[in-house]
Amino acid sequence: MSQTAVGFIYPDHAAEDDYPYAAELLFASGEVRLEVTHIYGTDLHAVPELLDLGSPERLAAGAAQLAGLRPQAVVWACTSGSFVYGPDGAREQVRRLAVAAGVPASSTSFAFTRAAQSLGLERVAVAASYPQDVAGLFAEFLGAAGIEVLEMAGAGIDTAAEVGTLEREAVLDLAAANDRPEAEALLIPDTAMHTLRWIPDLEERLGKPVLTANQVTIWEGLRLVGHRAAHPALGTLFGA
């Protein structure tokens, strides 16, 4: 049986265990592998550091680490390290990653816009862990894709490492605090935040679709290889 592999370049360590969890739910027989490699820089949520983290040199190094695993697509699994470049810069970032990897590529920021568009979402709320200035850049990125952000307040968490320590109740409370009744969905943009195990709880509490960073990143990688997967534990986006 031929096996499909999707590669993910993940910055440092925080919530990368979301990926094997998703693989276990979606592909218990192993027909698709979700392969994660790591690159290292700062984990600060600050613009200069994020620009460095998403640099062509760092992503090319990540692509080289994945090469031996023969992925059919590669995704830069970092939201802030992609949207900080703006839409045009993020497109160039992905183009250069695709050249380095020799396969189709994307990033978590584009995963969010494509996932939202696939669900027909036009008006959303955002529960961001970032400082306000960085969170604002995500709202601008969504706006450029025709997605209106009705509510967003950055939680002001300075590092990805700290975000990775947030437990279930803190994540649910952050989501509820940033939702608005008129928003069609809530977006949680940080791949450093554990969310996959709590998506059903999030959607039940808010009564609407919730898109989270690692969730949409996995969905985008599967989209790139033409593979549709469904599981109710991964929320509306992975509905049948």
Q: Are residues 218 and 105 in the same domain?
A: yes
Quick count: other Cβ atoms within 10 Å of Cβ 170? Answer: 13
User: Average pLDDT for residues 63-71, to the nearest whole number?
Assistant: 97
Q: Are residues 136 and 99 in the same domain?
A: no
User: Does residue 42 surpass a pLDDT of 90?
Assistant: no
Q: What is the pLDDT averaged over residues 10-28? A: 95
Residues 103 and 153 in one domain: no
Residue 186: domain span: 112-212
For the chain, what is the domain count?
2
Average pLDDT estimate for 133-156 = 90
Provide the pLDDT confidence category of residue 160 given band limits of 50, 70 and 90: confident
Rounded to the nearest 10 degrees, the angle between the axes of helix 56-66 and helix 86-101 is 30
Report yes or no on 240 lying in a domain.
no
pLDDT at residue 1 in the model: 46
pLDDT score for 200: 97
**Quick check: 188 pLDDT over 50?**
yes
Q: Is residue 238 part of a domain?
A: no
In a domain, 191, yes or no: yes
| The pLDDT value given to residue 90 | 98
Query: What pLDDT does 231 receive?
Result: 96
What is the pairing mode between strands 32-39 and 148-152? unpaired
205 and 129 together in one domain: yes
Which tops the pLDDT comparison, 67 or 159? 67
Cα 48 to Cα 203: distance, rounded to the nearest angstrom:
34
Ordered DSSP codes for 113-128: HHHHHHTT--EEEE--
* CA torsion angle 96 98 101 106 (round to 10): 110
Q: For residues 22 and 218, is the Cβ–Cβ distance under 8 A?
A: yes
